[in-house]
Structure 1
Amino acid sequence: MKNVTSRRQMLSASACGFGSLALADLMTRQAQAATPSGPLAQPATHHLPRARRVIFLFMHGGPSHVDTFDYKPRLQADDGKDLPYDLPTAAIDAKLKLLGSPWKFKQHGQSGLWCSELMPHTARHLDEMCIIKSLHSRGQSHGQAVSMLNTGSDNLVRPSVGSWLSYGLGTENEDLPSFVALAPSTGHGGPRNYGTAFLPAIHQATAIGSNGKLGDAQVKYLNRGDLPPAEQNRQMDLLQTLNRRHLDRAGQDQQIEGAIEAYELAFRMQQAAPQVLSLDEEPQHILDLYGVGQEPTDNFGRSCLLARRLAEAGVRFIQVSTGNVWDQHSNLKSGHEKNSLKTDQPVAGLIQDLKQRGMLEDTLIVWGGEFGRTPVVQGANGRDHNPQGFTMWMAGGGVKGGTSYGETDEFGYYSQQDRVHMHDLHATILHLMGLDHQRLTYRYAGRDFRLTDVAGRVVTELFA
């Protein structure tokens, strides 16, 4: 178990570092990777890690697995026929008529993995990917399933995956947060999905943009360019002195500790963050690779390119969100095609860019949504939510490329063979990062909590 007391002792012991001399020194340092200290210091891992960082490409809304990576010949052959078994009682609203995919599938690469024509750019990189086709989760509604994907709980406030990784591993660069959420949603739980719950506040994500829109790609309220460095230093010194006095009176108080740590991090970020978040120095061929400056790929392309830059700079967990756009209860074909046109090229560009920089081998990419879609029709031409069985893929970071794991039934409704629960996925991600999901715990309210609750299996079959 992580030693929480030592973190507080460390904060107390480093109080003199909040003084003016230390702050003045921070103002003059260049934005570079440094040996982290304090609550974001890098502790020892439980075992040898295969990955150093995670980029989670969150396809919010639930892309249809039977229209992307889970080819079902029986579904195509029986289009329009009745589903030969009953729907689960938790189903929201769908008919028993099967709906074949409007897209053609074919095999790609040396591995021969299947992918539909909906993802032509991503299909060129299937040999780098491990496609998990047997996921299942809790939560028929978006709010439940999104929470389950991001925190491991479908109904309780719990720390997010990125916060757990930040807590367990710290950061490689003390001038940047260990967890960044690019364009996260304000709905379906909003900040809860990238929050810390009862973990120390320093491990919450720094959010940039919202609801799938990156905006100006700047951290809000970070820039104090209107004040000269000496005045900023004086104000910070006064503020932290008052905070420390308040903490001394209160004793151990996570909220006050979190405020002190957050102000310190924000102060350091003023120089480091603008450089990392700027694309001005990226060559044109890299911008073109991601589709930056072109429509409809510009927004998501900039997010994926920023994810690579943040990963290079030492950020531990980067989440890139599309916004809730994959929820096609009707107009499946037009909706999924629109989303694919926005995301397919940037995702492929990210894989290629990381590979050519030698970063893919220690960067774990995870792609997927909170659930899949039903093989039966909803309305005239849509699909309903399906947490019973769906697909996500992983690439890099020690996973076995060019492989498929698990199966849904012949129509794509239920996870059937080599089933992978969401707790199993989380345990596997932690393991690849050098953490034992059973040992990464935090004591709160008299109980040792962990990301995987009291479940979870490391799916070692996915490893290279």
Structure 2
Amino acid sequence: MEPIREYLLGTTRRHFFKQGAMGLGSAALCSLLPSVASPSSANASPTIGLPGLPHFAPKAKRAIYLFMAGAPSQMDMLDYKPAMHRWYDRDLPESVRQGQRLTTMTSEQTRFPIAPSKFRFQQYGQHGAWVSELLPFHGRLVDDIAIVKSVYTEAINHDPAITYICTGNQLPGRASLGAWLSYGLGSLNENLPSFVVMTSSWTGPVEAQALYNRLWGSGFLASKHQGVALRSQGDPVLFLSNPPGIDSSTRRRMLDSLGRLNHQTLGDYGDPETAARITQYEMAFRMQSSVPDLVDLSKEPQHILDMYGPDVMKPGTFAASCLMARRMAERDVRFVQIFHRGWDQHKNIAVDLPNQCRDIDQPCWALIQDLKQRGMLDDTLVIWGGEFGRTIYCQGELTHENYGRDHHPRCFTVWLAGGGVKPGIVYGETDDFSYNVADRPVHIHDLNATILHCLGIDHRRLTYRFQGLDMRLTGVEEQRPVHEILT
């Protein structure tokens, strides 16, 4: 090896003492910290996050994010606009559109005919929240959730928009929300990952927007913080099973030998990715016993299965994923994210949207009720929403039954429930056309700041130095949690 390369790869004397001092200090600190057992997992001991976190007493210990990938149509579900029936087939006024950006799907249209919702709405709950007939179980849910109708974003196409809300930036390479929580707060259970992702099946169109693993990736954070994808077929986690001919004791010996090599490499170069690799190998070994128990639904009582609906025992459905999310919450998995695809309804919305709503309506209600009856909703935050909304004007000819709606970033609806959220309220309002925010706008950075706040994190103080910048999930603009919806 040439001398210059040997120098660059080797450990200098100064580097050795610097790393050694930090390692000894960390070991001494860990020896002084008390061992805290997870209340729901007798054999679990949590791993500590950053010093000083949480910044204040959290209302939520964990979170479940129900992500409707493709952008649900807010005016057909939770943002009732009765005045639009008088505007049927009339063009959206320029005074409303205000020259706002259009997608390539509708930019060539000569008209923007208003398409009122085909679906009936009814008021529910103590405060009379309007809910579409597509979501009858949500009608029973409104007193448990906070509906936010004034969320907005700058992204108008799916991939940058979903990357934006999941990672805080439209460009790839940033850490996802779940990775930030793992990094900042650590894990509550050493036998399961702190961040788990599921992608459920859907009954809408066969084609749907692709989901990339950067949406649950760790970006510039250590790879141990990335989300672990739980699969519905084969091994729940890839490569979890031992290879043919390898039993558990042999696997343990292999990991011990590999661990000694990795520790030697870690001592030589101090690369944090080597430390992450050691942690991940050990986690994978423990998951060989913890994951099969997690995914075994056979011990669930029949009344619980009935609560989640007829699809709950079909692997990979949204109902099964919601029940799995509750089981993970019981085992103190810090963050669970379920992606439900198929909401990108540029056409045939009259058929596809009811199918999508049927997939998610009862399981969402069941998840909240299940957490509530177990006394877990108070410290479990649940979020529901997509990456942007849909337009009040139609895509295609309004006279055709298969018309749809285009992307719309200027306003859309999300709801939150549980840990630290006021139940039974509606926050924010859109104009009569569900096109612009009329009252109390909530940027997606504000939404993420609110989620972090519920978990005891000041979003301005959760940072990571990368390429000379202090990176934040919520960007550098002045954002704030939506305190008005918080207890």
When the two structures are superposed, what TM-score results if normalisation uses the length of structure 1?
A: 0.89
CA distance in 2, matches of 1:69, 1:135: 13
Is residue 247 of structure 2 the alignment partner of residue 228 of structure 1? yes
Residue equivalent to 2:432: 410
Task: Measure, in 1, the Cα distance between the counterparts of 2:114 and 2:255.
Answer: 63
1:333: how far off? 1.1
Structure 2: stretches of 5+ with no match in the other structure: 1-18, 29-39, 202-207, 398-402
Q: Deviations over 1:27-46 (max 9, x none)?
A: xxx97452223x66896410
Deviations 1:341-391 (A, max 9, x none): 111111111111111111111111100111110000101321000111111
In 2, the alpha carbon distance for the partners of 1:31 and 1:229 equals 23
Contact 2:49–2:184 (Cα < 8 Å) also in 1 = no
Aligned runs of 1:288-367 on 2, under 5 Å? 288-293=306-311, 299-323=317-341, 325-367=342-384
C-alpha distance in structure 1 between counterparts of 2:313 and 2:343, whole Å: 18
Looking at structure 2, the residues matched to 150 and 342 of structure 1 have their Cα atoms a distance apart, in angstroms, of 22
Residue from 431, 435, 439 that aligns with 2:461 = 439
Q: Distance in 2 between matches of 1:40 and 1:72?
A: 45
> Percent of pairs identical after alignment?
43
Specify the SS of the correspondent of 2:65. strand
1:163 corresponds to which of 168, 179, 195: 179
C-alpha distance in 1 between matches for 2:176 and 2:285: 25
Who is 1:89 aligned against? 101
- Report deviation, 1:77: 2.5
Task: Work out whether 1:424 is the aligned partner of 2:446.
Answer: yes
Separation of aligned partners in 2, 1:320 and 1:424: 21
| Other-structure match for 1:17 | none
5 Å-filtered alignment, 1:102-113, equals 102-113=118-129
Q: Name the counterpart of 2:422.
A: 400
Q: Distance in 1 between matches of 2:66 and 2:22?
A: 34
Other structure's SS at 2:394 match:
coil
Corresponding residue of 1:255? 273
- Partners of 2:172 and 2:391 in 1: how far apart? 26
Q: Partner residue of 1:35?
A: 45
Measured after TM superposition, the shift of residue 266 of structure 1 is: 0.9
Partner of 1:218: 236
- Shift, 1:12, TM fit: 8.0
Say whether 1:66 aligns with 2:75: yes
Structure 1, gaps ≥5 residues long: 15-29
**1:98 paired to 2:114:** yes
Partner of 2:386: 369
What is residue 23 of structure 2 aligned with on the other side?
9
3-state DSSP class of the match of 2:404? Answer: coil
Q: Which residue pairs with 1:21 in the alignment? A: none
Candidates 377, 384, 389, aligned match of 2:406: 384
**TM-aligned CA distance change 1:452 to 1:406, over 3 Å:** same
Deviations 1:283-305 (A, max 9, x none): 11111111255699971111000
- Cα distance in 2 for partners of 1:178, 1:43 equals 19
Structure 1 pair 342/155, CA: closer, same or farther in 2 (3 Å)?
A: same
Q: CA deviation at 1:232?
A: 1.7
Give 2:351's aligned amino acid: S
Spell out, residue by residue over 1:299-339, the C-alpha distance to the aligned partner (whole angstroms, 9 max, x if none): 1111000000001101010001112x001000011010111
Aligned-partner SS, 2:154: coil
Deviates more, 1:280-289 or 1:294-303: 294-303
Alpha-carbon deviation of 1:445?
Answer: 1.5
- The residue matched to 1:167 in structure 2 has which SS? helix
The structural deviation recorded for 1:153 is: 0.5
Moved more, 296-305 or 309-318: 296-305
Which has the higher mean CA deviation after the structures are superposed, 88-97 or 136-145? 88-97
- Tell me if the contact between 2:55 and 2:456 (Cα under 8 Å) persists in the aligned partners: yes
Kept in 2, the 8 Å contact 1:176–1:265? The answer is yes
Match of 1:46 in 2: 55
Q: Which residue of 2 aligns with 1:134?
A: 150
| Equivalent residue letter for 2:60 | A
User: Structure 1 residue 10: deviation in Å?
Assistant: 8.0
Cα 1:10–1:326 change in 2 (3 A) is: farther
Cα 1:449–1:10 change in 2 (3 A) is: farther
Who is 1:283 aligned against? Answer: 301
1:202 is displaced (CA, Å) by 1.1
TM-score (norm 2): 0.85
CA change 1:152–1:41 in 2 (3 A) is closer
Q: Is the 8 A contact 2:242 2:248 kept in 1?
A: no
User: What is the Cα-based RMSD across aligned positions, in Å?
Assistant: 2.6
Q: Distance in 1 between matches of 2:115 and 2:58?
A: 43
Deviations 1:142-198 (A, max 9, x none): 001100110010124110001111111111111111000012799656011000001
- How far residue 247 of structure 1 moved from its aligned partner, in angstroms, is 2.1
Residue 6 (structure 1) shift: 12
- Secondary structure of 1:375's match? strand
Between Structure 1 and Structure 2, how many residues are aligned?
439
Q: Would you say the 8 A contact 1:163–1:179 is kept in 2?
A: yes
Q: From the superposition, tell whether residues 122 and 217 of structure 1 become closer, same or farther in structure 2 (CA, over 3 Å).
A: farther
Contact 2:235–2:241, Cα closer than 8 Å, also in 1:
no
Mapped pair 1:463 → 2:486: yes
Q: 1:294 to 1:425 in 2, by over 3 A?
A: closer
Contact 1:91–1:140 (CA<8 Å) still a contact in 2?
yes
CA contact (8 A) 1:130 1:403 kept: yes
Cα drift, residue 416 of structure 1: 2.6
Which of structures 1 and 2 has the bigger CA Rg?
2
Q: 2-side partners of 1:326 and 1:441: how far apart? A: 33
Mapped to 2, the partners of 1:31 and 1:231 lie a distance apart of 27
Query: CA contact under 8 A between 2:312 and 2:320: conserved in structure 1?
Result: no
| Match in the other structure for 1:25 | none
CA contact (8 A) 1:69 1:116 kept: yes
Q: For the residues of structure 1 that align with 2:313 and 2:44, how far apart are their CA atoms?
A: 38
The answer to whether the 8 Å contact 1:108/1:124 transfers is: yes
Q: In the alignment, which residue of structure 1 is the partner of 2:36?
A: none
The amino acid that maps onto 1:446 is G
User: 262-271 or 223-232: which moved more?
Assistant: 223-232
